[in-house]
Amino acid sequence: MSRKDWKKIFALLGNLSENHKDVLISLVGLSIATAIRPFIAVILTGMLVDAAYAGADFTELLHFVAVGVGGIFLMAAAEGVLVMFFNRKLEYMQEIQAEPLNKKSMKMDYEYLEDSTVHEMRQKIERLGGWSLAARVLSCLNRILTAAITVLMAIFVVVPMFVRSSHSVSEGFIGSWMMSVLLLLLVLLLVFVEFRLGKYYNGKEADARKEMAGCEARSKYYMDILSGCERQKDLRICKQQRLYEREFDELTSGIKVTTDKMAHFVTLNIFSQQSISAMTGFLVYAFAGLLACAGMISVGGVVTYAASILKFTEAMGKLVYVMSWLGGNAVFAEDYMTYMALPQRKHEGCIPMEKRRDNRFSVEFDHVSFKYPGSDTYVIQDLNLKFEIGEKMAIVGRNGSGKTTFIKLLCRLYDVTEGCIKVNGIDIRKYDYAEYCDLFAVVFQDFQVFAFPLGENVAAGSMVDKERAVDALDRAGVGERYRALPDGLNTSIGKEFEENGVTFSGGEKQKIAIARAIYKDAPFVIMDEPTAALDPESECEVYAGFDKMVGNKTSIYISHRLASCRFCEDILVFDRGRVVQRGRHEELEQQEGLYKELWDAQAQYYA
């Protein structure tokens, strides 16, 4: 691993430790306990053999056994407690890691959510399989720290023992120190060979895992399609079953090939590790035997020396293996930290919104132009317009003319590129954003109704004013359906989490979204194609009750159906980011221009 990779990993751990220091503490404790426990048995076994060889009585031998068993028991108990705590944390580390990710996504500038690069960044973080990135990194670090402590313990045990024993024999033993150094160099060479082979095989395995991740993403996509009924309508009517069968066959073949490739490299990796471990073990025991024959170490020392060296080489092998595997996760750690470090570009205002009992607000677009981040094309160009509270305004135009972008700018999901938007004469960027959002109740074209109780969906929160919620449902035209529900406002929408949940039609969900906008009781009501999922009768019902729904609030209504805009007092006609016409329906119908062109094209369907 490079220094840069370590920085990424430690940055991830630093982010995690802000709220979960106990995980890192348990990791260190577990690593120490796991590394030390085997050496208790190794050291005491050597001492026990030496004592028996020296003719110690049964009581003394029993003392060694008692100390060894007691020490191992205590260390194993501590290790058991720590591993239970650590593994319990790893089990829900996905949720622990998701917490800051989700908080970041809720607070980050909206423009990031529509940025494909940012979206792919998060998808890569979440495509790691069963464990989260944090869990994988922590598991690696546990093994790395355990291996590192094992190496230190082996050095701590072997070197003093060898130095102490070498003083008691002649210095002529075939260059004992030189032989020891030679053995060490040979062992290190074997460890290096194991590292290089492990790095190569791990790299090949990582490449195969990336291929597998792509296959798993495709598999999940197909399963999502086939698990529901909505998409299968197109699948069956268009007779796409054979297409999907072919895709599944190709996907299955790809998964099999990739799995075989992964298994091949894993097998080669394990074989190389075990072969080198066997060679190392032979060399160590052979050398330990020579030392014992030369009287440099005792019989018990052979056991301690050989076992410690083998622990050393085994730990070194694990160390280099896990570090190379950890390095493969550094890329994902970089994505995670980059995602979490995305800066707030939107200006954070601090002026509180004016609290007006009469809800009198004026809005002005002053030479507003806008282009999306990363684009050179202006979607809104030099837009100038004003409107007052209480007006009912419709926005019409061809697809891509800037209608939805106009709403995004008004709601300050994006900040303007040029010019400014003013509310009561003040640039909206200077207002406190949370308070500014309180001005708007919006039903977007791609509205969302969540798998929560009906009341929480309408109130957009857990505190539900039943009287207001029922009134909003009635005004949105879904009151009758509500009264037929078994649990009223406590009825869960959908069956994702509750078996007793109720499935609503697309039109009913749209009415619930409208009820949510009514419940909010904001000065501005914005509806983007609010009747797109409704049948003609329900659509007529919504239009007829529109005044009752919005009252004296400012309402902005976006629609492709020009007939649905006739009740509006003011119609804005957008074309290529500009307002090219403005007026009432009766006026615009008589003028030559885009509105008349669109009206004439649709008029035949209104007869």
DSSP 100: H
32 located within any domain: yes
Residues 6+ away with beta carbon under 8 Å from 321: 194, 195, 198, 202, 269, 273
214 located within any domain: no
Instruction: Give the model's pLDDT for residue 165.
Output: 52
Instruction: Give the model's pLDDT for residue 170.
Output: 45
What is the C-alpha separation between 359 and 524, in angstroms, rounded?
9
Q: What percent of the chain has pLDDT over 70?
A: 83
Instruction: Give the model's pLDDT for residue 421.
Output: 93
Q: Which two tokens stand for residue 345?
A: 């570009």
Kindly tell me the burial class for residue 409, based on how many C-beta atoms sit within 10 Å of its own C-beta (0-12, 13-18, 19 or more). Answer: buried
Nearest to 334 by CA among 2, 9, 1, 3: 9
Amino acid at 551: G
Instruction: Give the model's pLDDT for residue 169.
Output: 46
Give the 3-state DSSP-derived string for 533-562, with helices as H, strands as E and coil as C: CCCHHHHHHHHHCHHHHHCCCEEEEECCCH
Instruction: Give the model's pLDDT for residue 368.
Output: 93
Asked whether the predicted pLDDT for residue 107 surpasses 80, the reply is yes
The winner for highest mean pLDDT among 247-261, 290-304, 522-536 is 247-261
Identify whether the C-beta of residue 258 lies closer than 8 Å to the C-beta of residue 215.
yes
The tens digit of pLDDT for each residue in 312-326 reads 777 877 777 777 667
Q: b/e per residue, 113-123, with b = 16+ CB within 10 A?
A: eebeebeebbe
**What is the widest separation between alpha-carbon atoms in the chain?**
119
**What Cα–Cα distance (Å) separates residue 263 from each residue in 215, 267, 323?**
16, 6, 20
What is the C-alpha separation between 7 and 586, in angstroms, rounded?
67
What is the C-alpha separation between 21 and 76, in angstroms, rounded?
23
Beta pairing, strands 440-443 & 380-388: unpaired
What is the C-alpha separation between 317 and 196, in angstroms, rounded?
10
CA 167 to chain centre: 60
The tens digit of pLDDT for each residue in 122-180 reads 877 776 544 567 777 788 888 888 888 988 888 887 766 655 555 544 444 445 556 66
Instruction: Give the model's pLDDT for residue 417.
Output: 92
428 located within any domain: no
Residue of 169 and 55 predicted with greater confidence:
55
508 located within any domain: no
What is the C-alpha separation between 520 and 523, in angstroms, rounded?
9
What is the average per-residue pLDDT within 568-593? 87
Amino acid at 71: G
Instruction: Give the model's pLDDT for residue 130.
Output: 46
Q: Which two tokens stand for residue 475?
A: 């005004």
**What Cα–Cα distance (Å) separates residue 524 from each residue in 91, 333, 356, 435, 515?**
46, 43, 13, 13, 14
SS3 83: helix
What is the average per-residue pLDDT within 259-270? 84
DSSP 381: E
* Sheet-wide strand order for 380-388: 380-388, 362-370, 418-423, 426-427
Asked whether the predicted pLDDT for residue 194 surpasses 80, the reply is no
Identify whether the C-beta of residue 375 lies closer than 8 Å to the C-beta of residue 116.
no
Kindly tell me the burial class for residue 512, based on how many C-beta atoms sit within 10 Å of its own C-beta (0-12, 13-18, 19 or more). Answer: buried
Asked whether the predicted pLDDT for residue 466 surpasses 70, the reply is yes
The mean-pLDDT minimum among 12-21, 69-78, 255-264, 329-338 falls in: 12-21
**Mean pLDDT across the chain:** 79
What is the C-alpha separation between 122 and 484, in angstroms, rounded?
42
What is the C-alpha separation between 214 and 129, in angstroms, rounded?
11
What is the average per-residue pLDDT within 335-361? 77
Instruction: Give the model's pLDDT for residue 380.
Output: 92
Residue of 424 and 601 predicted with greater confidence:
424
Q: Tokens 């007529």 belong to which residue?
A: 540
How many domains would you assign to the chain?
A: 1
Instruction: Give the model's pLDDT for residue 91.
Output: 67
* Sheet-wide strand order for 440-443: 440-443, 524-528, 554-558, 392-397, 570-575, 578-583
Asked whether the predicted pLDDT for residue 347 surpasses 80, the reply is no
Asked whether the predicted pLDDT for residue 300 surpasses 70, the reply is yes
What residues are paired with 420 via a beta bridge? 366
Instruction: Give the model's pLDDT for residue 470.
Output: 92
SS3 458: helix
121 located within any domain: yes
Instruction: Give the model's pLDDT for residue 562.
Output: 76
The tens digit of pLDDT for each residue in 383-420 reads 998 887 677 888 888 888 888 899 899 999 999 999 99
Residue of 60 and 414 predicted with greater confidence:
414
What is the C-alpha separation between 510 and 126, in angstroms, rounded?
31
Long-range pairs for 256-260 at CB < 8 Å and ≥24 separation? 258/208, 258/211, 258/212, 258/215, 259/212
The mean-pLDDT minimum among 26-30, 66-70, 488-492, 588-592 falls in: 66-70
239 located within any domain: no
Identify whether the C-beta of residue 75 lies closer than 8 Å to the C-beta of residue 34.
no
Identify whether the C-beta of residue 316 lies closer than 8 Å to the C-beta of residue 280.
no
Asked whether the predicted pLDDT for residue 190 surpasses 90, the reply is no
Q: Which domain holds residue 329?
A: 3-168+296-340
123 located within any domain: yes
Identify whether the C-beta of residue 12 lies closer than 8 Å to the C-beta of residue 96.
no
What is the C-alpha separation between 29 and 38, in angstroms, rounded?
15
191 located within any domain: no
What is the average per-residue pLDDT within 189-207? 78
SS3 526: strand
Asked whether the predicted pLDDT for residue 591 surpasses 50, the reply is yes
Asked whether the predicted pLDDT for residue 557 surpasses 70, the reply is yes
Instruction: Give the model's pLDDT for residue 164.
Output: 53
DSSP 94: H
The winner for highest mean pLDDT among 184-188, 544-548, 573-577 is 573-577
Instruction: Give the model's pLDDT for residue 366.
Output: 93
Q: b/e per residue, 127-151, with b = 16+ CB within 10 A?
A: ebeebbbbbbbbbbbbbbbbbbbbb
Asked whether the predicted pLDDT for residue 88 surpasses 60, the reply is yes
Secondary structure (DSSP) of 127-182: -S-SS-HHHHHHHHHHHHHHHHHHHHHHHHHHHHHHHHHHTTS-TTSTTHHHHHHH
What is the C-alpha separation between 48 and 54, in angstroms, rounded?
10
Secondary structure (DSSP) of 347-379: ----BPPP--TT---EEEEEEEEE--TT--S-S
